Structure 1
Amino acid sequence: MTTLDERQLVALVQANLPYDTRLFQQLITPYLPTLKGYCAKLLNNQSDAEDVVQETIIKILTHLKNFKWAVSFKAWLFKIAHNECINKIRDRRWDTLENNDEYLENIIGAESTHQDLATALSALMVNLSFSDRNIMLLRYRTELEFQEIADICNLKISAVKMRHKRVVEFLKGQLRE
């Protein structure tokens, strides 16, 4: 059996919805771990993240027929998740912290896993503004390109790159202290 690329799979899913969701499940499954992690870190609340992931999947399923390739499917998926996270933040206050922080090492270029470093970075990330934390999570946790992040956040690419640079410098400075 041949493996379908993302474009072929999206086209098949669009053609078979709403009657056959097996292909939709095949399309969405590879993104679920990253999507769950992104939402959990952005919201700092596992329960809220699970709600947002469910809402995101429902929205994707509902609107996939109208999806056009202006952006990648992955960027479109995370744009929907981003908007759902904002809606969740508007609805509730949150204050718990998820402990899955291996992506944080990429932010400052750490070469090995170090629990104290991950803990320190996690604590610093919580104190970043929503926008800055979102940019960092989209860049390092979901591995999106700066242009895709700019599209998701409705910012210019130069603004995303500058905020990213400032946050990295801030984090490095805080870790030296």
Structure 2
Amino acid sequence: MNSFNERQLVALVQEGLPYDTRFFQQLITPYLPKLKGYCVKVLGNQSDAEEAVQETIIKALTNLKGFKWLVSFKSWLFKIAHHECINKIRERRWDIIQYDDDYLDTLEAKLPDEDDIAILISTMLESLSFDDRNIMLLRYRTGLEFQEIADICEMKLSAIKMRHKRVIKFLTRQMDSDKSKVKPH
């Protein structure tokens, strides 16, 4: 199989659209694990996350013909995922209003077997606002740069860095507080 770089793959997919999409899978495959992980963490629900990833892929393919290199392909892809996650959250709110408390049970995230520190960090992240949690997930789960995160979240770079710094301080204080509560055996 030919090995193309990202720019070459984007160009090949753009040339072949709408009928020839064989290079699209090669373009999108490296991003799928982080994309799925990001959506699961933001939405806290595997089923909703899978739908968001599918919608992201469909929208990326549908809109790739007009993609310009103003941002990286990865950043563009995660911006689409970000908006899909927001749409899912809006749908949930509508469903909660329609179906009342019964629907809340299906929204509950299931934590896999993790060590105590991972559970603690995951719990602390859940206590953050959507924007702050999203910034942390985009930074550490997907490895995006601050400027890319600012583009995705449609915020100023300085605001992203300030929120990031504030969250790090908050999480550090929380961990220090939790450590002091634990007594050695």
Settle same-fold status: TM greater than 0.5.
yes
Q: CA deviation at 1:97?
A: 2.4
Deviation digits for residues 88-144 of structure 1, max 9, x if unmatched? Answer: 10011563225469xxxxxxxxxxxx8111110000111110000000000000000
- Secondary structure of the 1:3 match is coil
TM-score (normalised: structure 2): 0.85
Letter in 1 for 2:71: V
Q: CA deviation at 1:2?
A: 5.0
Question: Kindly, what percent of the aligned residue pairs are identical?
Answer: 69
Letter in 1 for 2:152: I
Show the 5 A alignment for 1:31-42: 31-42=31-42
Letter in 2 for 1:136: M
Distance between the aligned counterparts of 2:155 and 2:83, measured in 1?
A: 14
Distance between the aligned counterparts of 1:53 and 1:149, measured in 2?
A: 18
Aligned to 2:19: 19
- Secondary structure of the 1:49 match is helix
Distance between the aligned counterparts of 1:175 and 1:163, measured in 2?
A: 18
Q: Is the aligned partner of 1:96 residue 2:108?
A: yes
**Structure 2 unmatched runs, 5+:** 94-103, 178-185
Aligned to 1:108: none
Aligned to 2:172: 172
CA-based RMSD:
1.6
Q: CA deviation at 1:83?
A: 0.5
Show the 5 A alignment for 1:37-52: 37-52=37-52
Q: Which contiguous aligned blocks of 4+ residues in structure 1 show a shift greater than 2 angstroms? A: 93-101
Q: Is the aligned partner of 1:64 residue 2:64?
A: yes
Aligned to 2:146: 146
Structure whose alpha-carbon radius of gyration is higher: 2
TM-score (normalised: structure 1): 0.89
How many pairs align? 165
Distance between the aligned counterparts of 1:36 and 1:55, measured in 2?
A: 12
Aligned to 1:30: 30
> In 2 relative to 1, CA 79–43 (structure 1 residues): closer, same or farther, beyond 3 Å?
same
Letter in 2 for 1:127: S
> In 2 relative to 1, CA 8–126 (structure 1 residues): closer, same or farther, beyond 3 Å?
same
